[in-house]
Amino acid sequence: MAIRTFVGTLKNRYSQYKQLNNMVAVIENSGKFDERYYLTNHSIQDKWAVKSPIKHFLTKGATLGYNPSEWFNTSWYVEHYEDVKEQGVNPFFHYILYGRREGRKPSPNRFATALDKKRDWIKNGVVENLWGGYSEPALQDLQTVYQSHEEDTDLRYFAAWHAARWFYFEGDFKKALSLSELVRELSKDYHIDKTAVLMHAFCLIKLGDLDEAKVHLLEYLETSPSDADVLLSLSNLHENPQNRLFWINSAFERHGFAPIALNEFKGQIGFENLVATAPPIQDDRLVSVIIPTFNAGERIEIAIRSLLNQSWRNLEVIVVDDCSIDDTTERVRRIMLEDERIKLVQQPHNGGAYKARNAGLKVAEGDFITTHDGDDWSHPQKIETQVSYLDKHSTVMGVSTFWIRATSDLHFQHNWRLNPRLIHWSHSSFLFRRQVLDELGPWDNVIAGGDTEFIWRVQAHYGKWAFKRIHKEVPMAFALDDDGSLTRNKATHIKTMHNGLRHVYRSACSWWHRQQASNLNITELRSRPFPAPRSMLVRGDNNAAAELIFISDFSTGRFNDDDFSLIASLLEKGKQVMLYHIPVYGKVSSPLCDKFFTLLQKENSEVCVYGMQVSVAKVVFLNSHLLRFVPEQLAEVRGDFTFVQQIDEYIASSENIERFVSMSSKKDVIHLNRDSLKDELLA
């Protein structure tokens, strides 16, 4: 045993040595480390430091807050970028590999260069529009950048990667791979860039070239032997279950967590036969775990058993069935006979996950409360690590862990599109103190997105640092990659956070948090505290009618006072009004303005989003430039009359107007200036 421990220690030290040398090489090759500045500015005279300033910075200097150059502020970078602080990665190394391509500032005093501005335009303009419904012009703009030999290399990589994400999402893996190959041709540095490596490997995997994918993953593993994203990716390349378990367990064991094994071995590996054990934790404090479920079938047993197997023994597992029509409840009752820690709550009507969770809250007795999806599997040390963190940090009110998506046979996947990592944080893992429930109330009763609002509400009330994401290095749960889930359906798809249902909802809840920071207890409010699309409140409620619909870019800085006054006047007259936000293509994204939500607080106003069918008497475009490009996904708007407010000489084509609006008759579109439009609508 002692020999094994000694050998393990040697391997670990050798791994750390190789990783340090790799980091030194990356920084050295960047040419951005100023050795003279580093040594003189910080009065460093240590012989070892003088011999290797970069190593000194990586091992000691960064911890002391030393700056590697005049233009990079080590302490500020760590404090300003929360993810860098949470990762514990060297800030300058992070900036070299990721930060500069992502448009992050290296210091608070750094003025934006032309390159910074262009990167910002790509990230917050082109890419936001790409996922917000303008894929054709956005892809063209990205192509112009990544094909240009005159552009900065990092900028070309940045543009190519974002384009590859889109093609991967669309299932065009050959096109995504061609962009990945372009990135690899730009610089050898990208051969050991994790984001680029994962992009290349997964494109190859999707195209069936597992051997080539393995070469690239193993090459990266040489530089970062404990990287769980890569270790789990390597497990996808094997058919033998034991070989796959080796790579999966390497991810857990190298980070100090218990390995997993196969129960009832059937020659296959999957959610249904995973098992893991960890030393039990006995504690008087109760943790309530709420599982909302609908037609989960055998999946519910996997979820429940992974919770009953938690090292934290003092649990109550509250299963809330949302009117399943399969055998879900029968399966739950059978397991209840085995373990008295399970409770079953049955909803009278199908209302969605958040209403089901709130029903579970009414019977929850725990000192801590968390949730669990009905088709996921959790590592046995998940809850233990969460409670332990809260015990050590009294000002933190709740924590989330990370998870990874996987198919039913445990092939690990990116989360709906290419990402810098496979492992990502899980909203539904949020474990919080009972005090949060007492002071802020339950989840918002919506169809989708309630996790985000609840966590933001906690941060708005207690402070940003009251919520933490912990143990990002390893997944504490496996989430079933199910194309039928809410996050994958068109109108509620997660990509609508860029434009559509989730974007409006997130912006609205953020507005409420800012306006009412002192009173965010949702149970104490008589009416809904902030507006939300009707399809967010009742599943399938997509039809609406009004007298007028205003279509405009309601972003901050793009919705002027005159237009606000016009709509406010119509609302005061009792007109039934709908507001439909469509961003102008090519502009850098900006939050929806406060005036937008002020108008939506009126009882006779309503927001329109993609997925709705709307009938109105008058359709009003407040900005003719909205019609230069038409988003691919639009609400179905049917109107009697259409008005376009002219802000300059640009005249929108009738073809583009017809893509927005289905006219009930063949009446002409009326183009008016601001004053004439006001007179027409207020008459």
As a whole number of Å, the end-to-end CA separation of the chain is 90
> pLDDT at position 682, please?
94
Q: Which of 259, 291, 314 is the last residue of a domain?
A: 259
Measured CA distances, 440 to 194, 352, 364, 420, 654 (Å): 40, 21, 16, 34, 50
Determine the Cα–Cα distance for residues 70 and 504; give it in Å rounded to an integer. Answer: 42
- Of 77, 78, 70, the C-alpha closest to 38 is 70
Q: Is residue 502 part of a domain?
A: no
503-532: string of b/e by CB count within 10 Å (b at 16+)? bbbbbbbbbbbebeeeebbbeeeeeebbbb
Domain shared by 548 and 428, yes or no? no
Domain shared by 285 and 250, yes or no? no
Task: Please compute the mean of the pLDDT values over residues 218-224 and round it to a whole number.
Answer: 92
Q: Is residue 506 part of a domain?
A: no
Beta strand pairing status for 398-400 and 431-433? antiparallel
Domain shared by 607 and 580, yes or no? yes
Domain shared by 406 and 314, yes or no? yes
pLDDT in tens, 482-536: 765 545 557 889 999 999 999 999 999 999 999 988 889 999 888 899 999 999 9
Task: Please compute the mean of the pLDDT values over residues 359-380 and round it to a whole number.
Answer: 98
What is the tally of structural domains in the chain?
4
Determine the Cα–Cα distance for residues 378 and 149; give it in Å rounded to an integer. Answer: 48
Query: By percentage, how much of the chain surpasses pLDDT 90?
Result: 80
Task: Please compute the mean of the pLDDT values over residues 552-575 and round it to a whole number.
Answer: 97
The answer to whether the CB of 177 falls within 8 A of the CB of 147 is no
pLDDT in tens, 253-267: 999 999 999 987 666
Beta strand pairing status for 467-469 and 431-433? unpaired
State CA 663 to chain mean position distance. 38
Task: Please compute the mean of the pLDDT values over residues 301-311 and round it to a whole number.
Answer: 97
Domain shared by 80 and 139, yes or no? no
Q: Is residue 264 part of a domain?
A: no
pTM: 0.90
- Of 569, 551, 605, the C-alpha closest to 679 is 569
Is the per-residue pLDDT at 472 higher than 90? yes
The answer to whether the CB of 307 falls within 8 A of the CB of 315 is yes
CATH number of the domain within which 469 lies: 3.90.550.10
Q: Is residue 545 part of a domain?
A: yes
Instruction: pLDDT band for 20, please (50, 70, 90 cuts).
Output: confident
Whole domain around residue 16: which residue ranges?
Answer: 1-102
Task: Please compute the mean of the pLDDT values over residues 268-276 and round it to a whole number.
Answer: 91
Task: Please compute the mean of the pLDDT values over residues 478-482 and round it to a whole number.
Answer: 91
Burial (0-12, 13-18, 19+ Cβ within 10 Å), 219: middle
Is the per-residue pLDDT at 383 higher than 70? yes
Q: Which of 74, 102, 130 is the last residue of a domain?
A: 102
pLDDT in tens, 134-155: 999 999 999 999 999 999 999 9
Q: Is residue 409 part of a domain?
A: yes
Domain shared by 126 and 188, yes or no? yes
Burial (0-12, 13-18, 19+ Cβ within 10 Å), 632: exposed
Determine the Cα–Cα distance for residues 103 and 123; give it in Å rounded to an integer. Answer: 8
CATH number of the domain within which 153 lies: 1.25.40.10
Is the per-residue pLDDT at 6 higher than 50? no
**Tokens standing for residue 35:** 């050795």
pLDDT in tens, 168-187: 999 999 999 999 999 999 99
DSSP string for residues in 203-261: HHHHTT-HHHHHHHHHHHHHH-TT-HHHHHHHHTT--SHHHHHHHHHHHHHTTT----E
> pLDDT at position 574, please?
97
Determine the Cα–Cα distance for residues 169 and 163; give it in Å rounded to an integer. Answer: 10
Task: Please compute the mean of the pLDDT values over residues 406-410 and round it to a whole number.
Answer: 95
> pLDDT at position 518, please?
82
User: Can you tell me whether residue 109 is helix, strand or coil?
Assistant: coil
**Tokens standing for residue 270:** 């999957």
Longest Cα–Cα distance of the chain, Å, equals 91
Task: Please compute the mean of the pLDDT values over residues 194-213 and round it to a whole number.
Answer: 98
Domain shared by 125 and 203, yes or no? yes
Which run of H or E residues covers position 676? Answer: helix 674-682
Instruction: pLDDT band for 3, please (50, 70, 90 cuts).
Output: low
Question: Which of 288-297, 397-406, 426-435, 487-496 comes out lowest in average pLDDT?
Answer: 487-496
> pLDDT at position 11, please?
53
Is the per-residue pLDDT at 667 higher than 80? no
Q: Is residue 470 part of a domain?
A: yes
Domain shared by 211 and 241, yes or no? yes
pLDDT in tens, 81-99: 988 887 789 999 999 888 8
Is the per-residue pLDDT at 665 higher than 80? no
> pLDDT at position 524, please?
82
pLDDT in tens, 618-663: 999 999 999 999 999 999 999 999 999 998 888 888 889 999 998 7
> pLDDT at position 681, please?
96
Domain shared by 82 and 205, yes or no? no
Q: What's the mean pLDDT when you consider all of the chain?
A: 92
Domain shared by 245 and 275, yes or no? no
Q: Which of 448, 464, 480 is the last residue of a domain?
A: 480
Determine the Cα–Cα distance for residues 310 and 476; give it in Å rounded to an integer. Answer: 11
User: From the CB of residue 623, how many other CB atoms can be counted at a distance below 10 Å?
Assistant: 22
Burial (0-12, 13-18, 19+ Cβ within 10 Å), 310: buried
User: Which residues are within 8 A (CB) of 7 and not within 5 positions of it... i.e. 6 or more apart?
Assistant: none
Measured CA distances, 666 to 658, 663, 677 (Å): 11, 7, 20
Domain shared by 430 and 382, yes or no? yes
Is the per-residue pLDDT at 223 higher than 90? no
Task: Please compute the mean of the pLDDT values over residues 444-466 and round it to a whole number.
Answer: 96
Query: By percentage, how much of the chain surpasses pLDDT 70?
Result: 95
pLDDT in tens, 578-627: 999 999 998 889 999 999 999 999 999 999 999 999 999 999 999 999 99
Q: Is residue 541 part of a domain?
A: yes
Domain shared by 372 and 404, yes or no? yes
Q: Is residue 520 part of a domain?
A: no
> pLDDT at position 7, please?
46
> pLDDT at position 649, please?
85
Determine the Cα–Cα distance for residues 534 and 541; give it in Å rounded to an integer. Answer: 6
